[in-house]
Structure 1
Amino acid sequence: MLALANVADVLGLPIRGTAALSPFGLISRIEEGLPFATLERVSQFVSPNDSQFKYRLVPKATYDRRKKGQLRLSSEEGTRVARVARVWNLALEVWQREDEARDFLFRSHAMLEDKRPIDVVIQNEFGAEMVLDILASLKYGSAA
Structure 2
Amino acid sequence: MLDPVSEVLGIQVSGPLPLMAAVEQGLPLMALDRVMHAVAPSDSGFAFRIIPRATLARRRKSFAAARDRAEGRLSAEEGSRLARLASVWAMALDVWGEADAARRFLFEPHPLLHGRPPVDVVLENELGRPVVEGILGRLKYGSAV
The answer to whether the superposition gives a TM-score over 0.5 is: yes
Which residue of 2 is the match for residue 93 of structure 1? 94
Report how many aligned residue pairs link the two structures.
137
| SS of equivalent residue, structure 1 residue 44 | helix
Other-structure match for 1:71: 72
- Give the partner amino acid of 1:116: P
Q: AA paired with 2:124?
A: Q
Distance 1:4 1:112, change over 3 A: farther
Cα offset, 1:22, TM superposition? 2.5
- Counterpart of 2:99, as a letter, is E
Q: Report the counterpart of residue 103 of structure 1 in structure 2.
A: 104
Q: CA RMSD in A?
A: 1.3
- Counterparts of 1:13-28 in structure 2, within 5 Å, are 13-14=11-12, 20-28=13-21
* 1:55 corresponding residue in structure 2: 48
Partner of residue 122, structure 2: 121
Mapped to 2, the partners of 1:22 and 1:103 lie a distance apart of: 28
Amino acid at match of 1:90: M
2:35·2:86 contact (CA, 8 Å) conserved in 1? Answer: yes
Partners of 2:54 and 2:138 lie apart in 1 by: 38
Counterpart-to-counterpart distance in 2, 1:59 and 1:4: 29
Structure 1 length normalisation: TM-score?
A: 0.92
**In structure 2, C-alpha distance between the alignment counterparts of 1:21 and 1:50, rounded to whole Å:** 30
Change (3 A) 1:124 1:39: same
Question: Retained in 1: the 8 A contact 2:3–2:15?
Answer: no
List runs of 5+ in structure 2 lacking aligned partners: 63-70
Q: Shift of the alpha carbon at 1:92?
A: 0.4
- The DSSP-based 3-state class of the residue aligned with 2:129 is helix
Distance 2:79 2:126 in 1: 13
| Alpha-carbon separation, structure 1, partners of 2:138 and 2:2 | 20
- Seq. identity, %: 48
User: d(CA) in 2 for partners of 1:100 and 1:30?
Assistant: 28
- Is this contact kept in 2: 1:46–1:102, CA < 8 A? yes
| Shift >6 Å, 4+ stretches | none
1:45 aligns with one of 35, 38, 44: 38
TM-score norm. by structure 2 comes to: 0.91
Question: Any gaps of 5 or more consecutive residues in structure 1?
Answer: 15-19
